[in-house]
A and B are shown apart, each in its own frame.
Chain A
Amino acid sequence: MPGQQPHGVHGPGTAAPVPQTPPGSWSPVTATTLADGEWHRMHPLTPLMKGGLVLVIVLGYLIANLRERILEWFISLVTPAHVPTFGGDPVDWVVDNNLVIVVLLGVLGLAVLLVALFWLSWRFHQFRITDAHVEVRKGVIFRAHRRAPLDRVQGVNLTRPFPARLIGLAKLEVDGAGNDANVPLEYLSTAKAESVRSDILRLASGARHAREATRGVADPAAARTMRAQLAASVDAGVTGLIAGVDLDDIAPEHVLRIPTGRLVGSHVLSGLVWLAVFGAIFVAAMIGILPGVFSDAGPAAGAIAGGIALAMGIPLLLASVAVTWSRIARALRYSIAPTPDGVRITFGLFTTVTETIPPGRIFAVEVMQPLLWRPFGWWSVRINRMSGKAASQQQSSQAQQFNIVLPVGARADVERVLGLILPDVPADVLPLIWEQGVLGPVADDPYTTIPPRAWWRRPLSWRRHGAALTDFALLLRRGRIWRQLAVFPLARLQGFSLHQGPIDRAQGVAKAQAHSAVGPVRGEVSGLDSQALLGMLNTLSVEAARAAATDRAHRWAEEHDPATAGHGLPAGFRPAGDGLSAGHGLPAGLSGSAGLGGSSGLGGSADGAA
């Protein structure tokens, strides 16, 4: 790689804590932050990680398969008169004809060309973080320049793919609000990626200068030799692989982890469903095939039938195991933790993904429980948010993983997570979410449910299927077997629609839909009384505007009136000891261990909001 270094970009950095280097060992061009409004380049090893490995494999494959053709073509270029025919091994032929040097030169030329191309693309790939924007420009012939406003940042995603992780590189992706609106910065050294992430979140928070002074985390790796750096990076990469990553700056008691046994167990239970589905296919197929086999084949029928059964059964079994395993591997080592700039969710065993979601970027939240989880008291929490991905990518399982904030957890865990992602839930909404919501219906049900005349729309769950509107959120409760409760905060509700067909009209009911960003949380409820829904449409109109006007979550760290300090609240996310004494804002469930039950997690945050 070329020796010319751009501003502030040095060799592989490290995430490991290293001894302080004496002051003065910094080169003057090295800024302590990359968010200085200057253009910076990616890590020099980027081309290797992005395309290099693939290229090496492709080249190896080509050479192994086409070496005679390539050599023939190459020699015909150099000595057109002498077109050879290879009787045996082309390498022998080259040696015999004293063409070794020519061939070596050719290989060298190709290598130099490739390196030059990579170097060019790396040179032209730059990013810049100003006070209001993050910008990336790249491309040599087709130039691309993307600028995203920081106050619309929907989240920052730091991915450590397995190979890159070993040499201390990470990929940073700034999620924009829109289709294909992401700004990827790949690859940066892990330390730089973390510092850029905190810079972007800090700038997006609106507290432009307030917390700048408290920062100053430098990259001391610059002063050391390349070899020491690489060793330290690998060291840190392997340590991270074993111990987990991205939690160093958070007090351990604030981190919510999921016991591996529970995670595996929950997925195995879901896997049982897959197994049942495949089993049903298997049985159906067998019933279709076997009578024919037994009537035709005579004595060998048993063996043939057994063969067919194995040939069909084994792939089906493997498929269900594979589905389950891929889910487990992605969700392993899951943790969720509060940071001053939002909720940080980390998951993945080999490829680790860390997603930071600032407050006020969550459009809908759903607590749900499949039937098989009920005996264990497990729940899962999913959200709708703008992932900034292209529409084609949003369906992928990787993208859907970003919408799961709690893969599986007990009630106390769910309450802590809800306290984190909905920090400003008022106290009077809490019972609506839990006792009357997820567990409902109870006596004096505040939810508008399907009237008895329309029970046949949901024969099992019509008493449960319904909606409730508060001045904070629209809550939708669905499902008796597969219990779901969705919360749509009004401050970010994008619209509310009613649909009514002829049968609906005859019964005086209608279907309603809450509109939010794309995600797993559905917004439909059907069969509710049409007059009640119209009343909801009218109330929503006023309430949504009011909620949006008082909501400051999109600029969460901006100074504002103390009376509103409960909103979006950095105070609640401060490390231990700091927020506690403030008397408000710290969700109580966060300060203790996971054993803190009840609704304390939510209650604490509600105090802050009051």
Chain B
Amino acid sequence: MTTIPEPPQNPGTDAAAPPTRAQARAQAAAAPVTQSGSAPAPAGIPVPVHAAPAAARVLDEGTYPALRTPTAPGALALDGVWHQISPKYVIAEVLLRILLLAVIAVGAYAATTLLAQPWPWAWTVAGVIGVVILFELVILPRQARAIGYMLRADDIVFRRGILWQRMIAVPYGRMQLVDITRGPVDRAFGIAKLKLVTAAATTGVEIPGMTEDAAEALRDTLIDVAEMRRTGL
């Protein structure tokens, strides 16, 4: 878990110069990009214009080559470069589910034979759960291809889902912390899950199945840009 450091604050006494140090730094770093379709800023306030943060090459190493999205004309589609996740995510998830199936089978067997008063419905229940898991196994590869994220000039966009599409944009400046978690199975396959936390509980951006290098590179990038653009909450 990495908290985002405080941006340099102007001390109250010598804040006469409007651009904060953070803004000045951002301006120096940013290539001039035209603002698309926004109203002119109020006079006297220099508005920093940011370029999209440079995406490390490692983000696209060992990932799916193309995003799987619905093709219907009314579908949500966004122009830009989508980064994707590693196919190892599917293998790890499949393995987890097979383990789960095994545990359920053992449990059902135990419930029908080993108990003093056998529970006859155990196999039925196990079967229902098993069918649900098998269905998940079938759609997992499709779902994994639909997961993607895009680094734009001022926000990160995360998308997932084919039948039920979800797309969320979180401004860089609003990120409170970036969390990387790796379970034991994830670690065996060298993948990690990256989670963004904002002041809103509902944002819930979790990018699963990133390669460890990509997760760390993305975290560093996000913290960098978040620090530059952070204001208030």
Contacts and interface: CB of A to CB of B under 8 A. Distances in A.
Contact of A208 (B12, B42, B168): B12
A206 B173 CA distance: 20
A563 B43 contact: yes
Max chain B C-beta neighbours (<10 A), residue from A517, A537, A542, A559: A542
Interface in A487-522: 491-502, 504-510, 513, 515-518
Interface string A537-551: 111111111101111
A506 B72 contact: yes
A151 B7 CA distance: 12
Label chain A's interface by main secondary structure. Answer: mixed
B229 A537 contact: no
Interface string B38-73: 110111110110100000000000000000001011
Contact of A492 (B43, B164, B232): B232
Interface stretch (B97-105, B123-131, B194-202): B194-202
B117 interface: no
Nearest to B233: A177
Interface stretch (B13-21, B86-94, B181-189, B215-223): B13-21
Interface stretch (B133-141, B149-157, B206-214): B149-157
Given A544-B154, A545-B173, A564 B42 contact: yes
A496 B169 contact: yes
A561 B41 CA distance: 15
A475 B88 CA distance: 42
Contacts of A561: 16, 18, 44-45
Nearest to A516: B200
A485 interface: no
B31 interface: no
Max chain B C-beta neighbours (<10 A), residue from A495, A498, A561: A495
B233 A541 contact: no
A206 B23 CA distance: 18
A544 B45 contact: no
B1 interface: no
B2 interface: no
B10 interface: yes
A361 B18 CA distance: 22
Contact of A494 (B9, B74, B163, B198): B198
A386 B9 CA distance: 22
B80 to A, nearest CB: 10
A554 B170 contact: no
A546 B47 contact: yes
A209 B37 CA distance: 41
B12 A537 contact: no
Contact of B198 (A498, A515, A559): A515
A411 interface: no
Nearest to A529: B74
Contacts of A523: 202
A498 B167 CA distance: 5
Contacts of A363: 199-200
B164 A501 contact: yes
Contacts of B113: none
A209 B13 contact: yes
A36 to B, nearest CB: 18
Contact of B75 (A491, A495, A500, A513): A500
A499 B13 contact: no
Nearest to A540: B169
A545 B155 contact: yes
Given A210-B12, A492-B233, A558-B10, A508 B73 contact: yes
B145 interface: no
Contacts of A471: 38-39
B5 to A, nearest CB: 12
Interface in A540-582: 540-546, 548-551, 553-555, 557-561, 563-564
A499 B200 contact: no
Nearest to B70: A505
A505 B69 CA distance: 12
Contact of A548 (B12, B70, B232): B232
A207 B38 contact: no
B174 interface: yes
Contact of B171 (A506, A538, A544): A544
B44 A495 contact: no
B214 to A, nearest CB: 22
A530 interface: yes
A361 B199 CA distance: 12
B75 A505 contact: yes
Contact of B203 (A154, A494, A506, A546): A494
B199 A499 contact: no
A470 B38 CA distance: 9
A536 B198 CA distance: 21
Contact of A515 (B41, B163, B200, B232): B200
Max chain B C-beta neighbours (<10 A), residue from A492, A541, A559: A541
Max chain A C-beta neighbours (<10 A), residue from B163, B165, B199: B199
B183 to A, nearest CB: 24
A542 B35 contact: yes
Given A360-B232, A499-B165, A518-B201, A549 B44 contact: no
A152 interface: yes
A277 interface: no
Contacts of A494: 170-171, 174, 198-200, 203
B23 to A, nearest CB: 6
A53 interface: no
A538 B35 CA distance: 11
Contact of A541 (B10, B73, B155, B200): B155
A448 B170 CA distance: 22
A509 B76 CA distance: 9
A557 B13 CA distance: 11
A226 interface: no
Contact of A530 (B41, B76, B168): B76
Contacts of A555: 9-10, 12
A208 to B, nearest CB: 5
A534 interface: yes
A550 B75 contact: no
A509 to B, nearest CB: 7
A540 B38 CA distance: 9
Contacts of A559: 12-13, 15-16
B76 A534 contact: yes
12 contacts: A360-B232, A363-B199, A491-B231, A507-B74, A530-B75, A538-B78, A541-B155, A541-B169, A542-B154, A548-B231, A550-B45, A558-B10
Interface of A: 151-152, 154, 177, 206-210, 360-361, 363, 386, 470-471, 491-502, 504-510, 513, 515-518, 523, 530, 533-534, 537-546, 548-551, 553-555, 557-561, 563-564, 610
Closest 3 CB pairs of A and B: A563-B44, A508-B74, A554-B232
